[in-house]
Amino acid sequence: MIWNKEIECMPREKMRALQTERLKELVNRVYNNVSFYRQRMDEAGVKPSDIKTLEDISKLPFTHKQDLRDNYPFGLFAVPMKDIVRVHGSSGTTGKPTTVGYTKNDIDNWSEVVARSFTMAGISSDDIMQVSYGYGLFTGGLGAHYGAEKVGCSVIPISGGNTRRQLQLMADFGSTALACTPSYALHLADAMAEHGYSLSDMKLKAGVFGAEPWTENMRKELERKWGIKAFDIYGLSEIMGPGVSHDCEYHCGLHVHEDHFFPEIVDPETKEPLPDGQEGELVFTTLTKEGIPLLRYNTRDLSTLYREKCECGRTLVRMKKITGRSDDMLIIRGVNLFPSQIEHVLLELGETSAHYMLYVDRKNNLDTLELKVELDESKLTDTIRDLQNLSRKIEHALNSAIGLSVKVTLVEPKTIARSEGKAKRVIDNRNK
Ligand code: DLL
């Protein structure tokens, strides 16, 4: 099923024409309404009238998270506060939160893109959706909520946390769709037995998981543990929230709602635009947003764009599943490493759980890497020798996959901290 066939299957030339019109209007609007953009564009020597084609977008300056922080809280808003009907924010790990504002139209457009996204997951008005993303300043809860209501689902706005209650309501209400982070979905699956439930008590059919990177192997694991189809939902608060892109049943990348969010890929070093098929930093321009429109916002997420038509019939540009952020990349003894590579190897082996934590340290000027990974319940009766063999096997697999030696420590089930929202996978003690 397709939610908005006209847009989602629009011929590419027609989509380009729509985007060009919207881009020109946007650039005029921000130049006239936001002093920050007027100043940036003046400094770059570019006037709104210089933007005539989509390619001209490369003349525009980039925007970064720091620009939102510098203009905290509302300095980048392009409309008066009386037109803002909602504020969200992301806390981040350092410094001030970044705040974003939505007009009534923005909320309508956001609900539309989330509705399109959920429809890609086969979700319809027949479904009971449990929204277990956090409700609050984080965009996950309310973003999913409005989209699910637009689709006509019966929405259970349970928010994140309280695992026992999540499982109880899932069983009692017969939730058929679950929206939460993939790490929390894994935790919920593992917690079922402990709380006296089994898969036969549940009616779940689909999961829409996002807000953090996860691998194809994790998709298989979640599909197996829950007996569901698992989908990837991507987004970020600066651009809108969840629903910037989503994958369809063919899982060949995420369809970007490009009539609202224009994507580019740029070289992480030179920041020059890269052609389709090449990996780089994902940059978005919000083509319709009124509250806080952003020009060429560099997400730092690493992806690749594909424009061939998908088997599902959608012509929307696809972005490759995100494997990490350029600023989450660890450099260990000169080797680039993303936590998702560890997840891939662990699940490929399939001999431990997928709960892990990576500890980075520096001893005698040498980076060290230790992986703590939880044993599967079934391995608890193994002999010490078996367990030693298992850790050596994992060390070997990691070494050949990432080219680094990693000390693997097997720990008991449920000893690694669980997150109800975004998982924390790395503790880097090198700069302490
Ligand atoms: O995480 C919005 C969201 C909520 C998306 C619920 C999906 C579901 P922020 O807190 O601003 O917004 O964090 C955005 O999270 O730049 C990515 O690095 C990461 N991220 C979000 N979705 C995915 C995904 C929300 N599907 C940041 N895969 C983004 C990988 C993701 N990373």
**pLDDT digit string (tens) for the chain, length 432 residues:** 999 999 999 999 999 999 999 999 999 999 999 999 999 999 999 999 999 999 999 999 999 999 999 999 999 999 999 999 999 998 665 567 899 999 999 999 999 999 999 999 999 999 999 999 999 999 999 999 999 999 999 999 999 999 999 999 999 999 999 999 999 999 999 999 999 999 999 999 999 999 999 999 999 999 999 999 999 999 999 999 999 999 999 999 999 999 999 999 999 999 999 999 999 999 999 999 999 999 999 999 999 999 998 999 999 999 999 988 888 888 898 888 999 999 999 999 999 999 999 999 998 888 999 999 999 888 888 899 999 999 999 999 999 999 999 999 999 999 999 988 899 999 999 876
Q: Is the same domain home to 108 and 225?
A: yes
Query: What integer pLDDT is reported at residue 96 of this predicted model?
Result: 75
Could you tell me the distance, in angstroms and rounded to a whole number, from the CA of residue 175 to the centre of ligand 1? 24
**Does 7 map to a domain?**
no
Query: Which residues sit opposite 63 in a β-bridge?
Result: 297
Q: Is the same domain home to 173 and 244?
A: yes
Tell me, using a 6 A CB cutoff, whether residue 291 lines ligand 1.
Answer: no
Taking alpha carbons only, the member of 131, 133, 147, 67 closest to residue 100 is 67
Instruction: Classify burial at 306, counting beta carbons within 10 Å of its beta carbon; exposed 0-12, middle 13-18, buried 19 or more.
Output: middle
Q: Is the same domain home to 97 and 148?
A: yes
Q: Is the same domain home to 176 and 261?
A: yes
Query: What integer pLDDT is reported at residue 95 of this predicted model?
Result: 66
Tell me, using a 6 A CB cutoff, whether residue 357 lines ligand 1.
Answer: no
Q: Is the same domain home to 190 and 281?
A: yes
Q: Is the same domain home to 374 and 406?
A: yes
Query: What integer pLDDT is reported at residue 28 of this predicted model?
Result: 98
Taking alpha carbons only, the member of 326, 327, 332 closest to residue 406 is 332
Cα–Cα distances (Å) from 393 to 99, 351, 389, in that order, read 46, 10, 6
Tell me, using a 6 A CB cutoff, whether residue 26 lines ligand 1.
Answer: no
Tell me, using a 6 A CB cutoff, whether residue 232 lines ligand 1.
Answer: yes
Cα–Cα distances (Å) from 400 to 102, 197, 341, 342, in that order, read 48, 39, 12, 12
The residue whose CA has the least distance to atom 6 of ligand 1 is 140
**Does 249 map to a domain?**
yes
Tell me, using a 6 A CB cutoff, whether residue 147 lines ligand 1.
Answer: no
Query: What integer pLDDT is reported at residue 125 of this predicted model?
Result: 98
The radius of gyration of the chain's CA atoms, rounded to the nearest angstrom, is: 22
The residue whose CA has the least distance to atom 13 of ligand 1 is 236
Tell me, using a 6 A CB cutoff, whether residue 303 lines ligand 1.
Answer: no
Tell me, using a 6 A CB cutoff, whether residue 324 lines ligand 1.
Answer: no
Could you tell me the distance, in angstroms and rounded to a whole number, from the CA of residue 287 to the centre of ligand 1? 20
Query: What integer pLDDT is reported at residue 382 of this predicted model?
Result: 87
Name the residue of 135, 322, 327, 422 whose CB sits within 8 Å of the most ligand 1 atoms, as the mutation to test its pocket.
Answer: 322
Name the E strands within 226-351: 229-236, 241-247, 254-256, 261-266, 280-286, 297-303, 305-306, 318-319, 330-332, 335-337
> Which of 328, 351, 366 marks a domain boundary?
328
Q: Is the same domain home to 96 and 212?
A: yes
> Which of 271, 303, 328 marks a domain boundary?
328
The residue whose CA has the least distance to atom 9 of ligand 1 is 236
> Which of 306, 328, 350 marks a domain boundary?
328
Tell me, using a 6 A CB cutoff, whether residue 139 lines ligand 1.
Answer: yes
> Which domain CATH number covers 379?
3.30.300.30
How many Å apart are CA 81 and CA 85, to the nearest integer?
A: 8
Query: What integer pLDDT is reported at residue 93 of this predicted model?
Result: 54
**Does 39 map to a domain?**
no
Domain count across the chain:
2
**Does 107 map to a domain?**
yes
Q: Which domain holds residue 283?
A: 81-328
Query: What integer pLDDT is reported at residue 431 of this predicted model?
Result: 76
Q: Are 129 and 415 in contact (CB under 8 A)?
A: no
Q: Are 302 and 279 in contact (CB under 8 A)?
A: yes
Tell me, using a 6 A CB cutoff, whether residue 212 lines ligand 1.
Answer: yes
Q: Is the same domain home to 295 and 165?
A: yes
